Chain A
Amino acid sequence: MMKRTLMTSVSLVLALGLAACGNGNNAAEGTGDAGTGGSGSGAKTKISYWTGDRHDAEFVKEQVAKFNETNTDGIEVELVVKGDDFDTALDLSFQTSDAPDVIRVKENTIQTFYKKGFLAPIDEFLTDELKTKFPAMPDLNEFEGKRYSLPNYGTTMRLVYNKDLFAKAGIEHPPTTLQELVDTAKKLTEAGKADGAYGFAQNFKSPGSAFARSSRVIAELSGFGGFGYDFKTARYDFSGFEPIINAFKQIKDDGSMLPGVESLDIDPLRAQFAEGKIGMYLSYSSEPGVYKNQFPAKIDWAAAPAPTIDGNVKGASGFLGGQWLGLSSKSENKEAAWKFMQFMYDDQVLTDYQEKGFGISMVPSVSSVAKTPDVSGIEGFLPNKYDGVWPVYPAVAPEGMKSDDAFFKYMLNGGDLKAIIADLNKRYNTALDSAIQNDGVKAEPDASFDPASLGGKFAK
């Protein structure tokens, strides 16, 4: 009998314990009143900052420690660095009332987080000085007239090339047109093949990731929306991609593409480039940091502006960014969270951020005084007159194959690219119409939209 009672009690305790698990963090959140910093109460106001960034994790950790030590409001920030599961973990945290107070937002997540109601506007905290200092960018940090984040750094896109292999092949300049890209890849392969080096590579394990850093920038510089959306007509039109995809296919057919690109991820691609096995590829300004820390480059390399379709710049090379930290709508300590954000957006922190090479500042008052980042190879990535911020395109979920997969399939198997593009246009526009009608997506034609006018704002 005694045994039974004991077992029943144990079961009950276990069951209650499980039920209590869902609210594990409430104790930490209860230390401050909603909207107050909780100063002077003696107890710490605990807030959490979630980020998915790993490249600057050490730097951010130092800043958080500094804030925790120096702030006089009794605020303690817990830094949580998530991996690839950042978005999923955040979704879950909002389902379980376990959401962070401050959230790292990016150019491809802020719209979704805003729509999901994860973010709180920060206008009430912004002074006029801050509003002028940090440029407002519609759909990137501003929605329906309210600000949800402030910019810190931006990412540029360039052609990264192996200078040693260029010298060996007797090529003096990186290519500026698609035809030159094809020809250069061929010459580099001829010069390097005996040592296992090839002219060009793309990380086609994920075609989406490969094209977002290659065809996109070529299209944007040539005046086409990098994801197939035409801002003038407010319709999807992939026809600008035809010569670009054909050039990539030509490079592959010529045998100038690194063998095995079908299963190549971006990190293995970088590892191969660092070893001198790749002549050129297109990517983001995060590359110099990679060759400094992750894969020390054994070759002399540099970055140059991406080629355009025909040598004429008719648009702007995307300068990606416009946001950094966002305030959680579920935060019970918004004022404390803002104080932490304010600390992170301090001139000194942002200047250090650029000078230590974590990113290229997008804040005019910082970029005008901050020194060139201390990372070799970054020079080629610094903003030039052709870098500019593109407006945000309306993302849709078309039925059937996505554009990246369709283009890669064409590169491998051939076919009628014009027909493929016509099919993509049809499916993407059907999805766009549905999104406008049912999901409140906005897509207004802008006849005066001039992609060439996007550049020149960050450098002359």
Chain B
Amino acid sequence: MNKTKNALFSYSFIFPSALLTLVLGIYPIAWAFRYMFYDYKGYGAARFTGLDNFSRILKDTQFWDSVVNTFIYAGGKLLITIPLALLLAAILNRGLRGRQLLRGIFFMPTVISTAVMAVVFFTIFNSYNGILNQFLIKFNLSDTGVDWLGPKYAMLTVILVAAWGAVGNYMLLFLAGLQNIPEDVYEASSLDGAGRIQQFRYVTLPMLGPVMQMVIMLAIITALKGYESIMVLTEGGPVGKTEVMFLYLYKLFFPVGGGSAAVQVQEFGYGSAVAFVSALIVGMISLIYFYASRRMNQTD
């Protein structure tokens, strides 16, 4: 009797979040699962097309270009973010003066809306009157400024902006991990004659393994799925140079631009298929990473 009561009690707690997950999580996925086999433009009847959407994906060079761009973007973002976050965490973990304030400052980008952050960066990087170019011209470092959002540097710029937004978040997670390493391990190692660098290499890094594995995992998934700041900065341009997988996908569902009188056609069916393949790519990379990094989870 008591057991049933307990179970009922537990279910009543789970119910609201389960309901939300069902409505906002499972239902849209099931919806997309169905429509990836259909041609559906948001009106009229959806037409069953079997695997047509998938054979279109195979031929869709724009999509595969966006996959390559995603890897460049995610790779670049990770290469900057992870070492920098770890370095900052290691520095701020020490008894540095004003470290609380610094932690707050570094974490701040995480709480700022991505779109607002991207708008601010747009005013810094834009080519015709951006703050950065005005600075470069004023101090004679460049005659005409650099086309930061042009074909040559746009990807670099969006990576830098993304890294700036992410570093504080991962720094905090590393910091939490660092604070869990017992002080006596450091004491023991220093008695054995280890210097600071050796301590970092042989104590900090191995003991940070499980946290590191999780942080990198999170960073990979977030970077592969990120597109919001790119949308504000370049809309994926110029000519697709910064078009990442999820931005391409977003535009299939909600076409942007076109101006007045250009009638936009939404591609729900094809978009669903692209969403599925994109999710598969992110899932596979996560799995590969998880397998390759399994040793990081072993602290002993």
Contacts and interface: CB of A to CB of B under 8 A. Distances in A.
B266 to A, nearest CB: 8
A263 B234 contact: yes
B237 A263 contact: yes
Contact of A116 (B8, B42, B59, B261): B42
Interface in A415-443: 438-440
Given A209-B257, A268-B128, A401-B62, A262 B149 contact: yes
Contacts of A272: 128-129
A105 interface: no
A405 interface: yes
Contacts of B233: 263
Interface in A113-127: 115-117
A205 B234 contact: yes
A208 B267 CA distance: 17
A395 B299 CA distance: 59
A12 B12 contact: yes
B257 A208 contact: yes
B261 A263 contact: no
A264 B259 CA distance: 14
Given A112-B263, A117-B43, A263-B237, A206 B62 contact: no
A207 interface: yes
Contacts, number: 154
B47 to A, nearest CB: 5
Nearest to B40: A439
Interface string A400-413: 11001100110011
A399 interface: yes
Contacts of B234: 205, 263
Main secondary structure of the interface of B (DSSP, over half): loop
A171 B264 CA distance: 39
B239 A439 contact: no
Contacts of B20: 18
Contacts of B259: 206, 208-213
A14 interface: yes
Contacts of B263: 108-109, 111-112, 392-393, 395
**A interface, how many residues as a size bin?**
35 or more
Contacts of B62: 400-401
B238 A412 contact: yes
Contacts of A106: 260
Given A259-B145, A272-B128, A412-B151, A208 B237 contact: no
B19 interface: yes
Contact of A108 (B129, B150, B260, B267): B260
A395 B264 contact: yes
A259 B265 contact: no
A138 interface: no
A111 B263 CA distance: 8
Interface string B13-37: 1011001100000000000000000
Interface string B247-264: 000000010111111111
Contacts of A164: none
A260 B128 contact: yes
Nearest to B6: A4
Contacts of A438: 39, 47
Given A117-B43, A205-B237, A258 B260 contact: no
What are the 9 tightest A-B residue pairs by CB atom distance, in nearest-first order? A260-B127, A212-B259, A206-B257, A263-B149, A208-B257, A395-B263, A262-B238, A208-B258, A115-B43
30 contacts: A7-B9, A8-B9, A14-B16, A18-B20, A87-B254, A91-B42, A108-B258, A115-B43, A155-B260, A205-B234, A206-B259, A207-B239, A208-B259, A212-B260, A213-B260, A226-B261, A259-B145, A260-B128, A262-B149, A263-B154, A263-B238, A272-B129, A318-B261, A395-B264, A397-B267, A400-B60, A404-B258, A408-B237, A438-B39, A439-B41
Given A263-B126, A413-B239, 6 more contacts: A7-B13, A14-B16, A207-B239, A208-B259, A259-B144, A395-B265
Interface of A: 4, 7-8, 11-12, 14-15, 18-19, 87-88, 91, 106-109, 111-112, 115-117, 155, 204-213, 226-227, 258-260, 262-264, 268, 272, 277, 284, 318, 320, 392-393, 395-397, 399-401, 404-405, 408-409, 412-413, 438-440
